[in-house]
């Protein structure tokens, strides 16, 4: 089928339009990523989906096609997407959490795109997390360090091109969700952050349809997977392949936005040059939830132990 067939399905009008099936969504994304679809049709499809609201079947189908287009990354334990724009957040404390998880012996693949905001990529450099120029280099970095960052432009130039249509269309599209569902290393566990709470359940339901095992999705700092210790946090996702949800209580009576944090740099906090309670709680709470997603027992205690020992050199 051509992409125009799928546009017609979505846009026939009241009483005739309908959502795409998973198979139709897979076909539509395959067409888009091939580069053969007319740009007008791509824009029409994305905006019709935005107006309607994506279904879990559609996200699963799009993700099927996107996943199938990716190169082999090699084994990954924890998939950690980072696709927030960063405008409503401060420093990317979640990167320190990811590094703690890697210190526990888990292979952590960070991948993403954050628009014009450079906080995440600057934070990677501060913490010594290597950025891969190719998927092959990502595998080498994971073998060496157990953690690495693979930019979307290196992972999938075709998907990157579609994601950047936001700059043309002026609106977010379902591609933002698809990127979070990429799981390029086919890890058995994934952690995801969203800005809009309604996407938590959508991504959990799509992951169930894709046959994923373990997933945690939260409304995190600026849309990243980052737990705010000053608020109750509801977690959606999967445990052992089944839909699961829980609420984690606030750990502090102090109410502060995460973008109000940041007097301390990532490098200072990691080295122990400066320590602050809320930043540390943010890192530990995020790491504990990531470890729990991996099936680690007493994950909060484990995270605290990893933090206490963080200045000991990593053992490859």
pLDDT tens digits, residue range 16-72? 999 999 999 999 999 999 999 999 999 999 999 999 999 999 999 999 999 999 999
DSSP count for the chain of H helices, then E strands: 15, 7
pLDDT(247) > 70: yes
pLDDT the model gives residue 258 = 53
pTM of the model: 0.94
Nearest of 116, 115, 126 to residue 91 by alpha carbon? 126
pLDDT in tens, 131-162: 999 999 999 999 999 999 999 999 999 999 99
Distance in angstroms (rounded) separating the CA atoms of residues 196 and 177: 11
pLDDT of residue 274: 83
Instruction: Give the pLDDT confidence score for residue 88 in this predicted structure.
Output: 52
Q: pLDDT value at position 299? A: 98
User: Do 197 and 220 touch, CB atoms closer than 8 A?
Assistant: no
CA–CA dist 167, 176 (Å, integer): 13
* Domain at 78-308: CATH code: 3.40.1030.10
Task: Answer whether 111's CB lies under 8 Å from 185's CB.
Answer: no
CA angle 7, 13, 19 (to 5 degrees): 55
Measured distance CA(147)–CA(100) in Å, rounded:
10
Domain boundaries, the chain: 3-68, 78-308
Thinking of the domain 3-68, which architecture would CATH place it in? Up-down Bundle (1.20)
Q: Which backbone phi and psi does 131 adopt, to 5 degrees?
A: -105, 130
Mean pLDDT throughout 234-253?
94
pLDDT digit string (tens) for 189-203? 999 999 989 999 999
3-class secondary structure per residue, 137-191: HHHHHHHHHCEEEEEHHHHCHHHHHHHCCHHHHCCCCCHHHHHHCCCCCCCCEEE
Q: What is the pLDDT of residue 252?
A: 75
Inter-axis angle of helices 22-34 and 39-52, nearest 10: 150
How confident is the model at residue 86, as a pLDDT?
58
Q: Specify the pLDDT at position 313.
A: 66
d(CA 144, CA 124): 16
pLDDT value, residue 316: 46
| Average pLDDT over all residues of the chain | 93
Predicted pLDDT at 218: 98
- Would you give the distance in Å from CA 293 to the centre of its chain? 14
Longest dimension (CA), the chain: 63
DSSP state for residue 20 in the 8-state scheme: P
3-state secondary structure of 26: helix
pLDDT tens track for 255-307 = 665 555 455 789 999 998 887 889 999 999 999 999 999 999 999 999 999 99
- What are 61-101's pLDDT values in tens digits? 999 999 999 999 989 999 999 998 655 567 899 999 999 99
pLDDT at 254 over 80: no
Sheet holding 147-151, edge to edge: 147-151, 108-112, 78-82, 189-194, 214-219, 233-239, 242-248
Q: With left for phi above 0 and alpha for psi between -120 and 50, is residue 4 left, alpha or beta?
A: alpha
Q: Rounded CA gap, 185 and 204, in Å?
A: 18
Q: Rounded to an integer, what distance in angstroms lies between the CA atom of residue 277 and that of residue 79?
A: 27
């Amino acid at each position: 089928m051509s992409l125009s067939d799928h546009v017609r399905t979505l846009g026939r009008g009241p009483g005739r339009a309908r959502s795409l099936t998973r198979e139709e969504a897979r076909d539509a994304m395959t067409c888009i990523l091939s580069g053969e679809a007319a740009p007008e049709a791509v824009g029409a499809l994305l905006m019709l989906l935005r107006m309607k609201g994506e279904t879990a079947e559609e996200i699963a189908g799009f993700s099927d096609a996107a996943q199938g287009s990716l190169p082999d990354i090699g084994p990954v334990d924890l998939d950690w997407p980072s696709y927030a724009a960063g405008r409503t957040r401060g420093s990317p404390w979640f990167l320190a959490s990811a590094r703690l998880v890697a210190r526990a012996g888990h292979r952590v693949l960070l991948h993403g795109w954050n628009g014009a905001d450079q906080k995440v990529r600057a934070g990677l450099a501060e913490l010594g997390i290597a950025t891969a120029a190719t998927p092959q280099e990502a595998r080498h970095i994971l073998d060496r360090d157990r953690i690495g960052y693979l930019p979307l432009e290196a992972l999938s130039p075709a998907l990157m091109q579609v994601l950047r249509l936001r700059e043309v269309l002026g609106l977010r599209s379902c591609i933002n969700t698809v990127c979070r569902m990429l799981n390029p290393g086919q890890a058995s566990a994934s952690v995801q952050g969203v800005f809009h709470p309604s996407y938590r359940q959508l991504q959990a339901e799509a992951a169930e349809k894709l046959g994923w095992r373990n997933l945690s999705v939260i409304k995190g700092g600026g849309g990243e997977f980052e737990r705010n210790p000053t608020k109750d946090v509801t977690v959606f996702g999967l445990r052992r392949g089944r839909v699961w949800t829980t609420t984690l209580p606030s750990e502090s009576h102090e109410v502060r936005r995460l973008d109000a944090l940041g007097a301390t740099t990532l490098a200072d906090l990691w080295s122990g040059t400066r320590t602050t309670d809320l930043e540390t709680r943010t890192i530990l709470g995020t790491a504990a939830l990531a470890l729990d997603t991996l099936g680690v027992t007493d994950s909060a205690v484990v995270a605290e132990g990893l933090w206490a020992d963080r200045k000991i050199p990593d053992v490859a």
